[in-house]
Amino acid sequence: MAVVSPSADAIGCAAAAQASGENFPVALRMLPGRYRHRLEAVYGFARAVDDMGDEAPPGERGALLDALEADLGRLYQFQDPALRQRPGQAGPATDVPAGGAAAGGAPQIGVVRALATVAGECAIPQEAFADLIRANRQDQVVSRYPAFSDLVDYCRLSANPVGRIVLHVFGAATSERMALSDRVCTALQLAEHWQDVAEDFRAGRIYLPAEDMERFGVAEGDLAAPAAGPQLRALMAFEVERASQLLDEGAPLVGNLRGYARVAVAGYVAGGRAALAAITEAGHDVLRATHKPRRSRLAAEMLRAYAAGR
């Protein structure tokens, strides 16, 4: 039997608890238990990936992500072969057929075991979960993005899989819906990055595309200031508008859904719009504080998105 690092399971357990607490999206708390429990398992896994790659000691992060990816491979040995990661799609730990190097019995990390039911019942491809791990591996070696297209490529791994998983959970995953979902999720990831410019800079990462910083006359040193100067404010206004347009392009997904799936996705769209509005209301000064949306704005955006279907 393969041995999993106790620290990997410990981090996973802590992440699952946090994901089911304050980090679980408020709109999704309105869902029936059968959906909420499935999504809690998904968010627990995603949170564990982030914690292993961002919070663990730097020298341990690679091994922790390896352990998580290998355990994911063990999980999918027991799923429909059509759902398994194909060789060459992801990192080395899962690039093996069932029964190969990833074999070794049932999953041992709690957040992976928690996925067993939802992955099987909802036919979620292994690739969606593996991409989240790939995104965090990228965070270990990439701290700057030359062009906006490079950042969008990163969002394809770090954000878009979550939306696709959610559609699978609701039995609503079609190619058309997933294409719209990708726009929504990329916009949500951008909104998060724009909220956290100062925090990310302190951690050694800049998600603002270098080509945009140069265009607006913003130097890396400007991100260390206590407040944003006029050039950075202009850059953030540009980035917020670009994320807003992308979110609007994907928002028709809400009208393409019914029932609880519509509620959930309307909540995502509303959260993104409210977050971007909070940055705008603060004059695009992303250095003075992390601007969170007001509850009243979030509620208004939720009603708007659900009623309008976009």
**Stretch 175-204: mean pLDDT:** 97
Q: Is residue 215 over pLDDT 60?
A: yes
- pLDDT value of position 81: 80
Angle at 266 between CA 163 and CA 54, to 5 degrees: 40
Question: Would you put residue 102 in left (φ > 0), alpha (ψ -120 to 50) or beta?
Answer: alpha
Per the model's pLDDT, the better-predicted residue between 54 and 19 turns out to be 54
Contact between 36 and 141 under an 8 Å Cβ cutoff? The reply is no
Q: Which of 203, 238, 233, 208 is nearest to 220 (CA)?
A: 208
Tokens of 299: 């509620």
**Stretch 127-147: mean pLDDT:** 97
Q: Dihedral of CA 211/212/216/217: which sign?
A: negative
Q: Is residue 41 over pLDDT 50?
A: yes
Helix ranges (H only) for the chain are 6-19, 33-54, 58-76, 110-113, 115-121, 126-141, 148-158, 160-169, 175-195, 197-202, 210-215, 230-250, 259-281, 295-308
- pLDDT value of position 105: 80
**Stretch 213-240: mean pLDDT:** 98
**Stretch 211-234: mean pLDDT:** 98
- pLDDT value of position 140: 95
Q: How many residues does the chain have?
A: 310
- pLDDT value of position 22: 42
Q: Where do we find the tokens 């030359």?
A: 146
DSSP 260-308: HHHHHHHHHHHHHHHHHHHHHHTTT-TTT---PPPHHHHHHHHHHHHHH
Q: Where are the domains of the chain?
A: 1-141, 142-310
**Stretch 132-144: mean pLDDT:** 97
- Structure confidence by residue, pLDDT tens digits, 49-85: 999 999 999 999 999 999 999 999 999 987 878 888 7
Helix (H, G, I), strand (E, B) or coil at 15: helix
Q: Is residue 304 over pLDDT 80?
A: yes
What is the pTM (predicted TM-score) of this model? 0.87
- pLDDT value of position 172: 97
**Stretch 120-140: mean pLDDT:** 96
Contact between 284 and 240 under an 8 Å Cβ cutoff? The reply is yes
Q: Which of 125, 204, 132 is nearest to 169 (CA)?
A: 125
Q: Where do we find the tokens 């007001």?
A: 294
CATH of 142-310, one of 3.40.50.620, 1.20.120.420, 3.30.70.1880, 1.10.600.10: 1.10.600.10
279 pLDDT tier (thresholds 50, 70, 90): very high
- pLDDT value of position 18: 54
Q: Which of 264, 251, 222 is nearest to 309 (CA)?
A: 251
- Structure confidence by residue, pLDDT tens digits, 108-117: 999 999 999 9
**Stretch 221-229: mean pLDDT:** 98
Q: Is residue 90 over pLDDT 60?
A: no
**Stretch 184-205: mean pLDDT:** 97
Q: Which of 69, 42, 55, 75 is nearest to 11 (CA)?
A: 55
Instruction: Report the alpha-carbon distance of residue 217 to residue 95 in Å, rounded.
Output: 44
Tokens of 303: 């009603």
